[in-house]
Structure 1
């Protein structure tokens, strides 16, 4: 019962208004190994390989347990709508990030953000100074970082006018190179990489009690409009009680080597297409994934592009998959995810060379809106049909098959058809 209670509590705590889930009190998983080619299920022995500790094994030891600010009596910097009110030292989080990097040192710097909505991007470049950013209110919805950026439509000039209208980024600032890398593009549009509202490159960065929104949302049609809320390029990053809201590509786990580790706990992610994607090694625990139909009546929660030599991509533990009323069993069923065959648009998928997304969803609740017939879709970029390995003697990393797995999930969406 413990796992069920935690998952339900996370949804209620975040106040997401996610719509009706299954009545899961006393629920027992009906998933049996090895499953089918459409829905492969791990055995108990196989599932033993996919633990939080395994995903976070690396060159440096890391055992994250969530972000704690309970002992912070005096933050280094405070962000508020007006400097001086409520102790605010800065009126924008970007200013406080710049100040933290300028302060330097190896002691963790704490930045408190007072309740309110703050318009504009936040870029955290590489730094040896560990930084924690947290909202002053435990209700993450009361403290928001928000901006509308469209990776498919915005030109570099539009990006510059949107992101830097009054000199938020100037030459010499620590985050200026990140801004300039997008503002100086010669392409017609800025693309996915430059569409993030919040962009983190700093090892050991922590975030708590905050909402990050790419507010493009439903102001566009149902076409391709990459609009990232949060992009993470760094290792040993923790997110705790955060809300990430967008539509396409909400949360970009952009590991540069495939070994970067990110831990997301007690959090909420909303979108409609590939809204948790990338090549990092990420563990989600006690989270809510909510897919919306305001732009589309089909969609995917995950799109990992794990490098083929990396056995660990994304791991989901004790979480809850929900959808709004526009999704229902049948033709409009939501899907858990698909692989992202990044870089293979011209060659097609090449086994052992092209990324082969790796994901395990275990001990989680899947609402009735999720497909029993085809929980996994054809790969992004190449449209490679999903092919799960249901052999009892399978190699879990065989590049001839997808690496999208489930174990011990429950709810109406977790049943085989």
Structure 2
């Protein structure tokens, strides 16, 4: 898939844009951004909390970074169709910057936010960096969105990339920021939903991409890195998982224990979700490193359906009991926050 193929069909084709920091239709605490203008410039112009940035239909090729002091900010597409507004760039982990250093995984993100109370809705965030275009780069993680900050809320957002599409992180190692994703579409191949946040995905659609490789698994959907002290990691509920690859080409998850937090105890619950044939039903989990086997992690399922959810080897698919399932709900994970 080339860059034009990725964007055509999700935003009605490519739109030439500039970086003029002008905001047509500015009114009250709302800034409007149209093609030829910059989303980042609008974010920079926000003074205080509670602003809304409305992005009009078009493709915006830029990196957007929302700092922690832009609290309670809303960034939304001007229409109800997330295909109409695309924010996209093409940095990867191994892409070199002007000073000779590389961006790293988090630094590769097209969209980054550390702001508490952020709401993003009705648009697409994409990273269209492709491995085939850069055979010299080994750091192939290319993030569409890197989110931290408590009470982060994505609604009706499309997140498109390949490896490490969505990085759900926390603002510090001693906090457990909460993030909520509703009616979102997320696609990728390797570990494309990953991180240490308390992250709830409700009524979301996860899609694994076809990869031109001979080995299996071709990738994993989830790679949680939950802190040991956090009882809540990643929760996917009432969602669905589909695939563009052949049957059993993907695994549901593997645990990520980062070198900077070797005490992590990854937690993942997938429940009441339709799992398609692209997920291997016999061995749905695998290891990232042999020192941290998935069997020692907090991986559980409950009442899933579909060919990828069939329990053929019970010890390979740990299930919640009914009493345990009562604790693993959106309300239980989000506490006093009701997005």
TM-score by length of 1: 0.64
Match of 2:116 in 1: 203
Deviation, structure 1 residue 189: 2.4
The question of whether the paired residues in 2 share the 8 Å contact of 1:286 and 1:319 is answered with: yes
| Higher relative strand content | 2
1:270 lines up with 2:169 in the alignment:
no
- Cross-structure match for 2:239: 319
Q: CA deviation at 1:271?
A: 0.6
Aligned to 1:80: 34
Q: Which has the higher contact order (CA 8 A, sep 6+)?
A: 1
Q: Which position in structure 1 is the counterpart of 2:164?
A: 249
| TM-score normalised by the chain length of structure 2 | 0.78
User: Which ranges of 4 or more aligned residues in structure 1 deviate by more than 6 Å?
Assistant: none
Aligned to 1:368: 277
- Change over 3 Å in CA distance of 1:223–1:293 after alignment to 2: farther
CA–CA distance in 2 between the matches of 1:194 and 1:381? 23
User: Aligned to 1:123, which of 65, 68, 87?
Assistant: 65
Match of 2:258 among 320, 342, 366: 342
1:74 positional shift: 7.0
Cα-to-partner distance string for 1:273-316 (whole Å, 9 max, x where unaligned): 00001100000000000011235451000001011121111111
Match of 1:354 in 2: 263
Q: Distance in 1 between matches of 2:65 and 2:191?
A: 23
> Which digits, 9 at most, give the CA deviation of each residue in 1:70-117, with x for residues without a partner?
xxx9761000014xxxxxxxx1100110111xx22x4x2111100000
SS at match of 2:294: coil
C-alpha contact (below 8 Å) 1:75/1:112 kept by paired residues: no
Query: 1:381: how far off?
Result: 4.6
Q: Is the 8 A contact 1:150 1:226 kept in 2?
A: yes
SS in 2 for 1:270: strand
Matches within 5 A, 1:17-416: 76-82=30-36, 91-100=37-46, 103-104=47-48, 106=49, 108-127=50-69, 129-152=71-94, 154-157=95-98, 188-218=101-131, 219-220=133-134, 224-255=139-170, 256-257=172-173, 258-296=175-213, 298-324=218-244, 326-329=245-248, 333-343=249-259, 354-378=263-287, 380-382=288-290, 384-387=292-295, 401-416=296-311
Structure 1 stretches lacking a partner, 5+ long: 1-14, 17-72, 83-90, 158-182, 345-349, 388-400
Is this contact kept in 1: 2:91–2:103, CA < 8 A? no
8 Å Cα contact 2:192-2:222 kept in structure 1: yes
- Higher-Rg member (1/2): 1
Shift of 1:137: 1.6
Taking the aligned partners of 2:124 and 2:177, their CA distance within structure 1 comes to: 23
CA distance in 1, matches of 2:291, 2:241: 24
Give the alignment's Cα RMSD to 1 decimal.
Answer: 2.2
